[in-house]
């Protein structure tokens, strides 16, 4: 059986499971559609939360970024895991105790203002749509590889699957689907990592294999990787200098942390359990389930880049015998070429592939003089393919390759579904029922929610064809928006009983608008680069701050503005202050 057929069978079986669960657990009321009837067990909710939170950026893109960025790619790892802990400790239990369906509903009630709820909806939509673009791109990449078609075709196929099970099942169906997706995802991520760790180092634990010596050698994997990357004109893999500046690494890590803590589609998961203490238990279980993947990711990234460079350069650098000839290309290269995410060009007509850092002028000049190289011949290598291609590069069995493809799709679909539900509930529950048509029937509200979700799928899919970066980079922009708008408002709503509506609304608007403007100045309006006003380069950034790292600046502006306006305006009513006090007081339930 060929690899494509095997992958289609495995992925088809997982789709049948997802759609079957969605039909079995179909939401029949608004409570089931938005918060699964608040009846999910903490362990099950922890698993669903992990699947919801570990998106295509975690499964597909993060290890790819670590593979190419090395040390600086750790910002994504630290930011996302640290942010989840922040959410679990500071936000989730208190928001669950407040007892509302959505984050905008909490903000609207806490700040006794429909305009506050509307601004929260706008912030949620800006963040969620940006985030779901990255998921749609991940879905498209996985499907394009399996079907051996262009990215655009794979993206449309992914949109169709998301439409079927997310629109149908609501939160109840999505929750049980995400449990299945987590199981598939974690097996798909760890099984090949174990195989590759054993092959390279003899250690079955990837986390330990990363610090082990290579099989039959006294050289450590990371030391050998450093040496190989230097031989190809790159900086050492473990080098702390180069790449991202210290300022940007700090700001990006902080943006991902506080952005994670402000993610409405993850926060809403803590509304699905029966009691406040169950929300705390869910947070703990989710951290366990998340930790399995996140402690494996650095090893996956390092082993992926090691396998890649040793596939292209299996012998001595500079010798024709040591390079991979075009006619000897392995099947994985041919498959990824068909997607448009991997491309070769024989620049010096020698029939072999040279892959090196031709942006290093000194090394490029030496390579041309001594080896006759005229530029790196892998002219297109999308970082997002590394995790999916890694098992093929390592020569693992076909069923493992198929399992990884299914896991990548599961990661993208699980988060996409959560985001789409957040978008749907924001429009149908917070805008229609909460602001414009309070007397809307439950049936019509459900219909409006499903229509909103369908429109969001189409819009996100369209923008997914023109993303502003790799999946993890797009997601980082979304986290920056959440960090600048929702996180400060949630924190002030819980821990500052005298924060009033004027301060909250003004702070949210300042944080959101400044961050959006900064992103659009460099990435372009609706992520079309030709509309960018300034060059997206370190030299063009204000104070050298990367757009992906701007979230904490927006958050600081949000806090400062809200505090100043609060001091200039009337305090909130006493019943609101008493409400805040009651939310913060623990109770035995």
Q: Look up the CATH number of the domain holding residue 188.
A: 1.20.1730.10
Res 588: pLDDT? 47
How many other CB atoms are there within 10 angstroms of residue 41's CB atom?
15
Question: 68 and 305 in contact (C-beta within 8 Å)?
Answer: yes
Residue 33 counted as domain residue: yes
Q: Is 370 in the same domain as 461?
A: no
Residue 105 counted as domain residue: no
| Residue closest to 53 by CA, chosen among 527, 546, 479, 450 | 479
Which segments within 270-360 are labelled E, that is strand? 342-344
Res 321: pLDDT? 58
Q: Is 495 in the same domain as 408?
A: yes
Residue 363 structural domain: 306-391
Residues β-bridged to residue 220: 213
**And the tokens for 47?**
């698993």
Res 317: pLDDT? 61
Residue 103 counted as domain residue: no
Residue 199 counted as domain residue: yes
Residue 589 counted as domain residue: no
Provide the phi-psi class of 133: left if phi over 0, else alpha when psi is between -120 and 50, else beta: alpha
Residue 102 counted as domain residue: no
Q: Is 311 in the same domain as 286?
A: no
Q: Do you know the residue count of the chain?
A: 589
Q: Is 399 in the same domain as 367?
A: no
Q: Is 524 in the same domain as 570?
A: yes
How many other CB atoms are there within 10 angstroms of residue 374's CB atom?
17
Tell me how many domains the chain contains: 2
Sequence-ordered list of residues with C-beta below 8 angstroms from that of 430, at least 6 positions apart, any chain: 102, 104, 105, 108, 117, 118, 120, 121
Residue 106 counted as domain residue: no
Q: Is 270 in the same domain as 168?
A: yes
- Cα gap 278→22, rounded to integer Å: 24
> End of a domain among 372, 391, 410?
391
- Cα gap 73→64, rounded to integer Å: 9
Q: Is 298 in the same domain as 152?
A: yes
Question: 300 and 200 in contact (C-beta within 8 Å)?
Answer: no
Q: Is 229 in the same domain as 312?
A: no
The values of phi and psi at residue 497, to 5°, are -70, -20
How many other CB atoms are there within 10 angstroms of residue 38's CB atom?
17
Q: Is 415 in the same domain as 472?
A: yes
Q: Is 197 in the same domain as 217?
A: yes
Q: What is the DSSP string of 376-422?
A: -SEEEE-GGGHHHHHHHHTT--HHHHHHHHHHHHHHHHHHHHHHHHH
> End of a domain among 391, 409, 439?
391
Q: Is 374 in the same domain as 445?
A: no
Residue 100 counted as domain residue: no
Per-residue pLDDT in tens (0 to 9) along the chain, 589 residues: 676 777 778 877 877 777 777 667 665 555 555 555 566 778 888 888 887 777 666 777 788 888 888 887 878 888 888 888 888 788 877 877 777 667 888 898 899 988 998 999 888 888 888 777 777 777 777 777 777 777 777 778 777 777 776 666 555 667 777 788 888 888 888 888 998 999 999 999 999 998 899 988 889 999 999 998 888 888 888 887 656 788 888 898 998 889 888 777 777 777 777 777 777 788 888 888 888 888 898 999 899 898 888 877 666 665 555 566 666 777 788 878 877 788 888 888 887 888 888 888 889 899 888 888 888 888 888 887 888 888 888 888 888 888 887 887 777 777 777 777 778 777 887 788 877 788 888 778 778 877 887 888 887 777 777 665 555 566 777 888 889 999 999 999 999 999 999 999 999 999 999 998 898 888 776 556 677 778 878 888 888 898 888 999 999 999 999 999 999 999 999 999 888 888 776 554 5
> End of a domain among 391, 407, 422?
391
Q: Is 321 in the same domain as 266?
A: no
């Amino acid at each position: 059986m060929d690899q494509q057929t095997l992958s289609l069978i495995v992925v088809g079986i997982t789709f049948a499971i997802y759609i079957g669960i969605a039909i079995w657990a179909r939401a029949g009321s608004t409570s089931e559609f938005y918060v699964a009837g608040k009846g999910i067990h903490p362990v099950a909710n922890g698993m669903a939360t992990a699947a919801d939170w570990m998106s295509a950026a975690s499964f597909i893109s993060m290890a790819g970024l670590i593979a190419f960025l090395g040390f600086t790619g750790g910002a994504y790892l630290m930011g996302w895991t640290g942010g989840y802990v922040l959410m679990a400790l500071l936000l989730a239990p208190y928001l669950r105790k407040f007892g509302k369906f959505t984050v905008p509903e909490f903000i609207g009630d806490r700040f006794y203002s429909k305009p506050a709820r509307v601004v929260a909806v706008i912030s949620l939509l800006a963040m969620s749509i940006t985030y779901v673009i990255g998921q749609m791109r991940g879905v498209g990449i996985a499907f394009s590889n399996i079907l051996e078609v262009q990215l655009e075709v794979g993206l449309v196929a992914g949109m169709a699957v998301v439409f079927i099970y997310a629109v149908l099942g609501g939160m109840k169906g999505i929750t049980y689907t995400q449990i299945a997706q987590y199981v598939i995802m974690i097996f798909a991520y760890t099984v090949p990592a174990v195989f590759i760790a054993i092959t390279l180092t003899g250690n079955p634990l990837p986390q330990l294999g990363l610090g082990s010596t290579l099989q039959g050698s006294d050289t450590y994997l990371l030391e050998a990787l450093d040496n190989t990357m230097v031989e190809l004109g790159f900086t050492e893999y473990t080098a702390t200098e180069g790449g991202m500046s210290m300022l940007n690494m700090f700001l990006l890590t902080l943006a991902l942390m506080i952005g994670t803590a402000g993610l409405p589609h993850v926060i809403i998961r803590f509304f699905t359990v029966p009691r406040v203490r169950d929300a705390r238990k869910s947070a703990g279980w989710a951290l366990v389930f998340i930790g399995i993947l996140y402690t494996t990711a650095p090893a996956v990234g390092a082993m992926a880049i090691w396998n890649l460079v040793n596939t292209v350069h299996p012998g001595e650098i500079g010798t024709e015998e040591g390079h991979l000839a075009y006619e000897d290309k392995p099947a994985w290269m041919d498959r990824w070429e068909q997607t448009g995410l991997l491309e070769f060009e024989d620049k010096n007509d020698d029939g072999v592939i040279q892959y090196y850092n031709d942006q290093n002028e000194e090394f490029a000049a030496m390579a041309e003089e001594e080896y006759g190289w005229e530029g790196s011949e892998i002219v297109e290598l999308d970082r997002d393919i590394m995790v999916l291609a890694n098992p093929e590069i390592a020569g693992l069995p076909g069923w493992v390759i198929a399992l990884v493809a299914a896991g990548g799709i599961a990661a993208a679909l699980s988060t996409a579904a959560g985001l789409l539900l957040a978008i749907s509930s924001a429009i149908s529950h917070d805008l229609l029922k909460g602001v414009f048509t309070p007397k809307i029937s439950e049936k019509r509200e459900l219909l409006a929610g499903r229509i909103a979700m369908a429109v969001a799928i189409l819009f996100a899919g369209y923008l997914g064809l023109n993303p502003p970066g790799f999946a993890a980079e797009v997601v980082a922009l979304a986290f920056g928006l959440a960090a600048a708008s929702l996180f400060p408002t949630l924190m002030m709503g819980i821990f500052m009983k005298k924060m009033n509506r004027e301060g909250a609304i003004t702070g949210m608007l300042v944080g959101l608008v400044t961050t959006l403007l900064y992103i659009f100045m460099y990435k372009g309006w609706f992520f079309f680069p030709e509309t960018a006003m300034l060059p997206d380069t370190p030299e063009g950034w204000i104070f050298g701050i990367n757009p992906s790292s701007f979230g904490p600046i927006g958050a600081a502006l949000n806090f400062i503005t809200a505090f100043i306006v609060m001091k200039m305006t009337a305090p909130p009513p006493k019943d609101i202050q008493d409400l805040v006090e009651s939310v913060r007081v623990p109770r035995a339930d």
